[in-house]
Amino acid sequence: MPLVSMRQLLDEAAKGGYGVGAFNVNDMEQIQAIMMAARQTKSPVIVQASRGARAFAEDLYLFRLIQAAAELNPEIPIAMHQDHGNSFETCKSAIELGYTSVMMDGSLLEDGKTPSTFDQNVDVTRRVVDYAHERGVTVEGEIGVLGGIEDGHGAGGTGLEHVTDPDQAVEFAERTGVDALAIAIGTSHGAYKFNKKPDGSVLKMDILIAIHKRLPHTHLVMHGSSSVPKELQDIVNEYGGKLKPTWGVPVEEIQLGIRNGVRKINVDTDNRLAITGAIRKVFALTPEKFDPRDYLKPAREAMAKVVSERMTEFGQAGHAGDYKPIPITEMAKGYANGSLDPRPSLAAK
Ligand SMILES: [Zn+2]
């Protein structure tokens, strides 16, 4: 199956009332782990690469691996997404490579650290939308600023400094025409999200619900949404790791989000923990081993297990065969003739 547009994948998820995990990749084993889980659970899937991942793996290696994944798994719809594009040029280069979706994170300036103004965000996102839609490619924007830093990207802080304002979210969706919208509701990137199990004082699900009421046709995206389960932290620490106790976003909160318009859920930290725990275990228990396959294979399996659990929890499991991919060229026509207009303003009334 060719790579599919993320817009089609999310439209189908909205029809079916489920969410789709977007899993970050840097190398072959992570891509294989995601595909193992997708095959096992029969799930459509979003694979995403940050700027850091593209630099680490080199663009062409990474993209060819994704193409191989699509060729080897013709029954699985796969969208390839640029995570946190920091500029028009980053998004353009991903589209030129063949990515079927890009995130323009205009909530920060190009340095990936400094919060931008609302108008700066609208301007750069609108430019990316015009360029991408002409080519049938999906665009995710962000309004409000997430907490934490990952891969050198992020404003830092707790995630509560720049929570999304629902009025601004409506204006942003109308002025930019984005297909999907990442919102800030108190979540952070990285392992250290909350210092206790989050409640409504730090995880603003009420804001998410308010935004969905006003923008029912815009697919919402939850970033920083690893659950950081204690079992995964424990394995890392049992075999020599030094993670401080931390809490992520509980799966039941994500499921509440899915019932309220969340269609894409970004998960990275949980997979990192699973991989690191598995490798540490091999090193600690069998220090005589030195063949990389001896620890990369269990690492890959540990990640596949986490991904497959998330696919089941998010509801995407079993939906791989629901639809045929619409070619990107057809998506471009749909954007041009208005049939793919996200119609946010309809909702505002
Ligand atoms: Zn993010």
pLDDT at 325: 93
Active site (annotated) includes residue 167: no
Distance from the CA of 143 to the center of ligand 1, in angstroms? Answer: 12
Q: Are 318 and 42 in contact (CB under 8 A)?
A: yes
**Mind listing the pLDDT tens digit for each residue in 176-226?**
999 999 999 988 888 888 888 888 888 899 999 999 999 999 999 999 999
pLDDT value for 347 = 47
CB-CB contact of 267 with 23 (8 Å): yes
pLDDT, one tens digit per residue, over 273-296 is 999 999 999 999 999 999 999 999
pLDDT above 60: residue 348: no
Mean pLDDT of the chain: 94
Mean pLDDT, rounded, for 327-344: 90
Lowest mean pLDDT among 29-43, 70-84, 198-212, 321-335: 198-212
Quick one: how far is CA 307 from the chain centroid?
A: 13
Contact 91, 134 (CB under 8 A): no
Distance 283 CA to ligand 1 centre (A): 31
The C-alpha atoms of residue 23 and residue 305 are separated, in whole angstroms, by 13
Q: Which helix (H) or strand (E) holds 222?
A: strand 219-222
Among the options 11, 27, 83, 111, which is catalytic?
Answer: 83
How many alpha carbons lie under 13 Å from residue 208 in its C-beta half-sphere? Answer: 27
- pTM for the full model? 0.95
pLDDT at 163 over 80: yes
Question: Which of 196, 201, 167, 168 minimizes the C-alpha distance to 185?
Answer: 201
Alpha carbon of 148 to ligand 1 centroid (Å): 10
pLDDT of residue 145: 83
User: What's the CA gap between 59 and 219, in Å, rounded?
Assistant: 28
Percent of the chain with pLDDT over 70: 97
Q: What is the mean pLDDT of residues 305-314?
A: 98
| CA dist., res. 107 & res. 248, Å (int) | 22
Question: Residue 276's Cα: distance from chain center in Å?
Answer: 21
Give the mean pLDDT of 329-346: 85
Specify the pLDDT at position 346. Answer: 52
CA distances, 280 to each of 30, 61, 286 (Å): 17, 27, 10
Is the pLDDT assigned to residue 242 strictly greater than 50?
yes
Residues with CB under 5 A from ligand 1 (ion): 223
Ligand 1 center from residue 106 Cα (angstroms): 12
Residue at 135: amino acid letter = R
Does residue 147 have a pLDDT over 90?
Answer: no
Q: Does position 49 have pLDDT exceeding 80, yes or no?
A: yes
Over residues 224-250, the mean pLDDT reads 94
Q: Where residue 349 falls among pLDDT bands split at 50, 70, 90?
A: very low
d(CA 316, CA 340): 23
Average pLDDT over residues 236-264: 96
